[in-house]
Amino acid sequence: MTSVFIFLRYLSYLLLLTNFTFAQKKPNIIMILVDDMGWGEVGVYGSKYCQTPHLDAFAKQGLKFNSFYANSTVCSPTRAALLSGKYPDLIGVPGVIRGNTLNSWGYFNPKVKTLPQLLKSGGYHTAMVGKWHLGLEPENHPNERGFMHFHGFLEDMMDDYYTHLREGKNWMRLNKQTVDPKGHATDVFTDWAIEYLDNQKKSTQPFFLYLAYNAPHFPMQPPREWLDKIKKRNPNLTEKRALLTALIEHLDDNIGRVMAALQKNNQAENTLIVFSSDNGGLLSTEADNGPWRGGKQTMYEGGLRVPTMAVWKNKIVANSQTNTPGLMMDLLPTFCEVAGVTPPMDIDGKSLLSTMLGKSVTSFDRRVFWMRREGGADYGGQDYYGMREGQWKLVQNNPFEPFQLFDMSVDSLETHDLKKTNKEIYESLSRKMRVHLQKVGSVQWQK
């Protein structure tokens, strides 16, 4: 009798331990980042051209951000901010990193702790699929920056969505092995992401997947059948607008495939998923940035404010929205908090987890900076800046124009420059910006 009693107690203990372990299983985390998608390209953000049923369904399952910002007006700096939680110009990425060293404007500091390294230390399997765009140096390969699995494209942009080449070179990799997949890059990255999710369903280890699409970055090269469908639906669109619409709707369809795979694998129940864009849409491709002024490359809202949504079943309230401002660099501390990992003390981002779980504020309650360095005749290798503190925003859109000052509480469309009539505000913000520039001055951004 005693032995039976001991066995039953032991069995109860095992069951209790099993249930505790199951209850304590850390959530999976997926970050979906698209390239150059304007605010107004998503249905739930008021799209005039695109039908995005999968992104709209995604938003209805979770939280829609109305005031989420990229960390720069272009690709590399925002990606660096996402992976570091810091201002990109403080970690060596003030501009676009390119394989062409004569026109490359950044070197991602190899000593900076990255999001996948932090999550890896918390027991996560870490993977990236898609566009890297943070350097071709051996020390800056995704596998060296914390990703245990990399299946994607190392360079900045593809010259062709089907050949996947950049300036005649193949930058597609499976970890460090060169691969040559067939098909449209958006389809290829989706296939690779689903392959990873299928493999992970056999594991009890939580995972972090960073899925970074090239689309809808130019060249405007959607699959032919998608373009034909758009032209048939709306024959009055210009050729540029039809191409961009088709590229975005094809992307939306692929995001739907990823969501379907999560459901099929029973992974959606315990997965936080965030969707965002690295900057606003490019105006020369006829991108729609909603009501906001400007687009990619500008410090106006159209270049910085991006469509962003978060889903976490039974955690984030479905069909909700928030006016709480957020930046891409805030996602590192957010994901760390979700994973139970302590982020570095020196990061600039702030966790948005409480916002995602229902606590919302409307004020822009902190000081933030944006910058970009670029070459060519328009920029000359110089940098230019934006800054926001409270209701006030400083804007400069190239290194050779004067700053403008806007009161965002009454002029969110940035139409009235108040620099001359609010000199004290302008001088105060300018002093604070100079302090930031002094910090940046010591940062190495060339290898």
Phi, psi of 387 (to 5 degrees): -155, 145
Q: Is the separation of the CB atoms in 382 and 362 below 8 Å?
A: no
Which ranges in 30-132 belong to alpha helices (H)?
Answer: 53-61, 75-84, 115-121
- The span from the CA of 8 to the CA of 212, in Å, is 51
Catalytic residue among 50, 54, 125, 133: 133
50 catalytically annotated: no
Q: First CA to last CA across the chain, in angstroms?
A: 74
What is the C-alpha to C-alpha distance for residues 203 and 214, in angstroms, rounded to an integer? 29
Catalytic residue among 54, 75, 149, 184: 75
> Dihedrals φ, ψ of 130, to 5°?
115, -150
Q: Active-site residue 164, yes or no?
A: no
Question: Residues of 336-371 as b/e, b for ≥16 C-beta within 10 angstroms?
Answer: bbbbebebeeebbbbbbbebbeeeeeeebeeebbbb
Could you identify the residue written with the tokens 């995604």?
58
Q: Using alpha carbons only, what angle is made at residue 347 by residues 370 and 409, rounded to the nearest 5 degrees?
A: 40
Q: Six-digit token pair at 237?
A: 């669109």
Q: For residue 326, what are its two tokens?
A: 């957020």
Residues carrying an active site annotation: 75, 133
